[in-house]
C-alpha cells in the first residue's frame, strides 16, 4: 500500500514541490519516497511506499519501463500478478524481471496490453498514474469497487492529482474553494460522493474508470468505464439460477481463493474480527489456509449495545486464532475526534470512523496488513433496511398516492413528543420508542411515488440539504435519477445496486482506507474481489434473503467452519454512542462549533434549522445526533482546513 501524487504544468518543475506533496501523505507510505521530474514534459510524479511485496529496491517507484516510454506511480495490490506474469511470458513477451513486486507486473501489463486491456485483466485494489512519453498522455485509473482513492483536477495553472486531498493542497497553485453543491450532497449522504469532492474543480475518479490527460494538463478527458457494474448486475440477475448446495460450494471455493490471494505478503498479516458474519468468514477462511494461528484484532466498549468484543472472543477461541482485544474508554474514543479532519481531508461523518481508526491502530502494533470483512452486506442482502424498505414499500404502494400524501400531512402535524410522554403510562408492550423521531420520518416517506425515491429517503440524512446550505443547488446522483438504474427484477436488487455504487465506495471503503492508512496499515477486502461481486449478482435473491435472514448463502458457507450456535445473534453496528456524548462530554465542543454567530459569519449554513436541531437534541425532545454529526464534522474540517 502506498500513496501517489503529482502535477503537470504551471511552469514549475522543482523536485521540492513533489517532495512536499508526497510528504503530506507520508503515513500512506513511510518506508520509501520517490520523485521523478520530467523537465521537458513539465510533469512531476511522486510516490510514498509502504513495502508489502518485494521489500528490495527493485520495488521502488516511480518505476520506468525498460524501453523508457512509460513511468508509473501506483497505490494498491494486484492479487493475480503472478498469473499475469505467466500470461505475459506465455504471449511471447521478452520480459526480464528485476524483482517480484506487483508494481513491475502492472507496468509490464500496461505496456503489453495497453491501459484498458490491462485493467480488464487485473484482480486487485489500486489507483495509479501512468505517463506515456510517446503519446504525451497521463493516464489515471482506479479499481473496480473503489477501494483505493484518487483525486484530480486543475488549480491555478496546474493539473494536480493524488491519493488524498492534502497532497494537492501542498502545491503552490492550490486554491481550495469549497463547493457548496458538494456540501449539499455531503449533508444528504454523510460523505461527498464521486465524482464530486468538497473542492470546486477537483474530482474523485469514479470506481472502475480511467481518464486520459493531455496538453500539459489542460485537456482532461471524460472518465471511461472499463467494468460496468450496472451491466454485471443486469446480466447476472437475468441469469440467476442454481441450487442451494451448488451455490454454496461455488461461493466457498471463490471465497477460499479470494482470501488466499489476499494473504500474500512479505510482512506480518492479520484480520479485523468483530464476531459478525463477514469478518468471521474472512478469519475462518484465513485460518483454514494457514499453518499457524492467524492474528485477529477486536476493540470493545464498556457501553451496552456497542460491544462486540465478547462475540469476537468466542469466534477466535473456536478458530484458534492469536487474538488481541482492547477495551476502549470513552475518553480514548473521543481523543480520536480532533484527528478526523486531518485523516479524512474532506467532511466525512460516519461515526464508525472512530472505532475503525482504533481497531486499525491496535492492529498496526502487531501487523502491517489486515484483512477486513466489508462488502458482505451490500453483496448478500445483509442490511436490515433492505428488508424493512421492501416490506414497508410493498404495503404503502398499494395505497393511492393522494391518500398517502393526505396521511403524511396529518402525521406531520402530530405532537410526537407529547404522545411519547403520554405513552409512558401504558404497559411497556404497548409503547413505541422514539415516537417523536419516527412520526416525522413516516410523514416524510409516505408521499413518494417510487420505491427508489422511498429508499433514497430512507438512507438520506438531510432530506432537503439546499435548505441548510446557503447558495447550494444539490446535484443529481444515481440515487435521485432512477432512470439511470439497470433493468433489475425488483426493488430489492435495486437497493443493493444503489449501495454498491454509492454507499459502499463513498462511505464504507473511504472509512476503511483513511483509518487504516492514517496508521500505515494496509487493509484488504476479500469479499470485494470482482469475481465474488459477479457471482453474487448471479445468486437468486431468495438465496440471499431466506427464512427471515439476510446473507443466507454466506451463512451456509460460514457454518462449514464455525458452528451456527456461536454465530446466531442480532446484528450489531460498529459505532459509538454519539447521541449520549453530544448531550454529555462533547456538549461544550459542539456548542462552540454550532454557535449561531459563528455559523452566520462563516456563511455556509442557515443557522436557524441547525440551532433548532441542537436545542431539541440536548433537551431530549428529538434525537438529531446523526444530522448534527454531519454539521459538526464539516465545522471541524473547516476549522482545520479553512485557514489553509
Query: Binding site annotation covers 299?
Result: yes
Q: What is the 3-state secondary structure (H, E, C) of 276-344?
A: CHHHHHHHHHHHHCCCCCCEEEEEEECCCCCCCHHHHHHHHHHHCCEEEEEEECHHHHHCCHHHHHHHH
What tens digit of pLDDT does each residue of 67-120 get?
999 999 999 999 999 999 999 988 876 677 888 889 999 999 999 999 999 999
Return the pLDDT at 235.
97
What are the φ/ψ torsions at residue 324 (nearest 5 degrees)? -125, 130
- Contact call for residues 612 and 628 (beta carbons, < 8 A): no
Which of 222-236, 374-388, 440-454, 458-472 is predicted least confidently? 440-454
Longest dimension (CA), the chain: 82
Q: Which residues contact 423 (CB under 8 A, 6 or more apart)?
A: 430, 431, 432, 435
pLDDT tens sequence across 296-349? 999 988 766 667 788 999 999 999 999 999 998 889 999 999 999 999 999 999
Q: How many CA atoms lie within 13 A of 486 on its CB side?
A: 23
Enumerate the active-site residues.
Answer: 2
CA distances from 463 to 228, 392, 460 (A): 29, 19, 6
- Residue 437, annotated ligand binder? no
Q: What is the CA radius of gyration of the chain?
A: 25
The predicted-structure confidence for 170-208, as pLDDT tens digits, reads as follows: 999 999 999 999 999 999 999 999 999 999 999 999 999
Measured distance CA(374)–CA(226) in Å, rounded: 23
Binned at pLDDT 50, 70 and 90, residue 403 comes out as: confident
Is 102 assigned to a binding site?
yes
What own/partner pairs with CB < 8 Å and gap ≥ 24 does 93-97 have? 96/66
Cell numbers for 231: 451491466
Q: Render pLDDT for 270-302 as a digit per residue (tens, 0 to 9).
A: 999 999 999 999 999 999 999 999 999 999 887
Q: Which of the residue ranges 41-50, 79-88, 283-292, 416-425 would you say has the lowest mean pLDDT? A: 416-425
pTM of this structure: 0.93
What average pLDDT does range 409-424 have in this prediction?
A: 59
Q: Is the pLDDT of residue 56 over 70?
A: yes
286: Cβ contacts below 8 Å, ≥ 6 apart: 259, 263, 271, 294, 371
Mean pLDDT across the chain, nearest whole number? 91
Residue 390: all three cell numbers together: 421492501
- DSSP tag of 13: -
Which range among 318-322, 457-461, 595-599 shows the weakest confidence by mean pLDDT? 457-461
Q: Say if residue 427's pLDDT is above 80.
A: no
Residues with Cβ < 8 Å from 264, sequence gap 6 or more?
A: 53, 79
Q: Can you list the domains of the chain with their CATH numbers?
A: 2-227 (3.60.20.10), 230-381+501-567 (3.40.50.620), 384-498 (no CATH), 578-641 (no CATH)
Place of cell 446535484: 475
With a pLDDT cut of 70, the percent of the chain lying above it is 91
Phi, psi of 457 (to 5 degrees): -65, -40
Question: CA 267 to CA 377: how far, in whole Å?
Answer: 29
User: Looking at residue 308, what is its pLDDT?
Assistant: 79
The verdict on whether residue 373 carries a ligand-binding annotation is: yes
Q: Which residue has the higher pLDDT, 435 or 312?
A: 312
What pLDDT is recorded for position 450?
A: 85
Work out whether the CA dihedral 252, 254, 257, 259 comes out positive or negative: negative
The continuous run of DSSP H or E covering 6 comes out as: strand 2-9
Sign of CA dihedral 504, 509, 510, 512: positive
Amino acid at each position: 500500500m502506498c500513496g501517489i501524487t503529482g502535477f503537470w504544468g504551471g511552469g514549475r518543475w522543482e523536485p521540492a514541490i513533489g517532495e512536499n506533496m508526497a510528504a503530506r501523505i507520508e503515513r500512506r507510505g513511510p518506508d520509501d519516497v520517490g520523485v521523478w521530474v520530467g523537465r521537458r514534459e513539465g510533469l512531476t510524479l511522486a510516490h510514498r511506499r509502504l513495502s508489502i511485496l518485494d521489500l528490495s529496491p527493485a520495488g521502488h517507484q516511480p518505476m520506468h519501463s525498460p524501453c523508457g516510454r512509460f513511468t508509473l506511480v501506483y497505490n494498491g495490490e494486484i492479487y493475480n500478478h503472478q498469473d499475469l506474469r505467466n500470461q505475459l511470458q506465455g504471449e511471447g513477451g521478452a520480459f526480464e524481471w528485476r524483482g517480484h513486486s506487483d508494481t513491475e507486473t502492472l507496468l509490464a501489463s500496461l505496456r503489453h496490453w495497453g491501459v484498458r486491456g490491462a485493467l480488464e485483466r487485473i484482480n486487485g485494489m489500486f489507483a495509479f498514474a501512468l505517463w506515456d512519453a510517446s503519446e504525451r498522455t497521463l493516464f489515471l485509473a482506479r479499481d473496480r469497487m473503489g477501494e483505493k482513492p484518487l483525486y484530480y483536477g486543475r488549480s491555478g495553472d496546474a493539473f494536480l492529482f493524488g491519493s488524498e486531498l492534502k497532497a494537492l493542497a501542498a502545491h503552490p497553485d492550490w486554491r481550495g474553494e469549497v463547493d457548496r453543491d458538494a456540501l449539499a450532497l455531503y449533508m444528504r449522504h454523510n460523505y461527498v460522493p464521486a465524482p464530486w469532492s468538497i473542492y470546486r474543480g477537483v474530482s474523485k475518479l469514479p470506481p472502475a474508470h480511467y481518464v486520459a490527460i493531455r496538453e500539459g494538463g489542460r485537456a482532461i478527458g471524460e472518465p471511461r468505464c472499463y467494468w460496468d457494474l450496472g451491466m454485471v448486475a443486469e446480466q447476472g440477475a437475468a441469469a440467476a439460477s442454481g441450487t442451494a448446495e451448488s451455490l454454496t460450494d461455488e461461493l466457498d471455493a471463490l471465497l477460499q481463493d479470494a482470501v488466499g490471494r489476499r494473504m500474500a505478503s512479505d510482512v506480518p498479516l492479520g484480520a479485523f474480527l468483530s464476531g459478525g458474519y463477514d469478518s468471521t468468514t474472512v478469519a475462518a477462511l484465513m485460518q483454514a489456509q494457514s499453518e499457524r494461528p492467524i492474528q485477529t484484532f477486536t476493540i470493545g466498549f464498556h457501553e451496552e449495545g456497542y460491544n462486540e468484543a465478547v462475540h469476537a472472543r468466542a469466534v477466535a477461541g473456536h478458530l484458534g486464532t492469536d487474538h488481541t482485544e482492547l477495551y476502549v474508554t470513552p475518553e480514548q474514543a473521543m481523543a480520536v475526534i480532533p484527528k478526523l479532519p486531518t485523516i479524512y481531508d474532506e467532511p466525512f461523518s460516519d461515526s464508525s470512523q472512530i472505532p475503525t481508526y482504533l481497531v486499525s491502530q491496535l492492529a498496526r502494533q502487531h501487523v502491517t496488513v489486515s484483512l477486513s470483512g466489508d462488502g458482505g452486506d451490500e453483496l448478500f442482502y445483509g442490511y436490515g433496511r433492505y428488508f424493512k424498505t421492501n416490506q414497508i414499500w410493498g404495503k404503502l404502494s398499494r395505497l393511492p398516492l393522494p391518500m398517502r400524501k393526505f396521511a403524511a400531512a396529518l402525521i406531520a402535524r402530530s405532537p410526537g413528543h407529547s404522545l411519547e410522554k403520554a405513552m409512558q403510562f401504558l404497559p411497556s408492550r404497548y409503547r413505541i420508542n422514539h415516537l417523536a423521531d419516527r412520526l416525522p420520518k413516516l410523514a416524510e416517506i409516505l408521499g413518494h411515488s417510487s420505491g427508489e425515491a422511498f429508499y433514497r429517503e430512507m438512507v438520506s440524512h438531510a432530506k432537503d440539504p439546499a435548505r441548510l446550505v446557503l447558495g447550494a443547488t444539490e446535484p443529481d446522483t444515481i440515487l435521485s435519477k432512477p432512470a439511470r438504474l439497470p433493468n433489475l427484477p425488483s426493488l430489492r436488487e435495486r437497493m443493493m445496486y444503489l449501495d454498491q455504487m454509492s454507499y459502499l465506495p463513498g462511505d464504507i471503503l473511504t472509512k476503511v482506507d483513511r483509518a487504516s492508512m492514517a496508521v500505515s496499515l494496509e487493509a484488504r477486502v476479500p469479499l470485494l474481489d470482482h469475481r465474488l461481486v459477479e457471482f453474487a449478482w448471479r445468486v437468486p435473491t431468495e438465496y440471499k434473503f431466506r427464512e427471515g435472514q439476510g446473507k443466507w448463502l454466506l451463512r451456509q458457507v460460514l457454518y462449514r467452519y464455525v458452528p451456527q450456535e456461536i454465530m446466531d445473534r442480532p446484528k450489531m453496528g460498529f459505532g459509538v454512542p454519539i447521541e449520549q456524548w453530544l448531550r454529555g462530554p462533547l456538549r461544550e465542543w459542539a456548542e462552540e462549533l454550532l454557535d449561531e454567530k459563528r455559523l452566520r459569519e462563516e456563511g455556509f449554513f442557515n443557522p436557524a434549522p441547525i440551532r433548532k436541531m441542537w436545542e431539541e437534541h440536548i433537551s431530549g425532545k428529538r434525537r438529531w445526533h446523526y444530522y448534527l454529526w454531519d454539521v459538526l464534522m464539516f465545522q471541524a474540517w473547516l476549522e482545520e482546513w479553512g485557514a489553509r
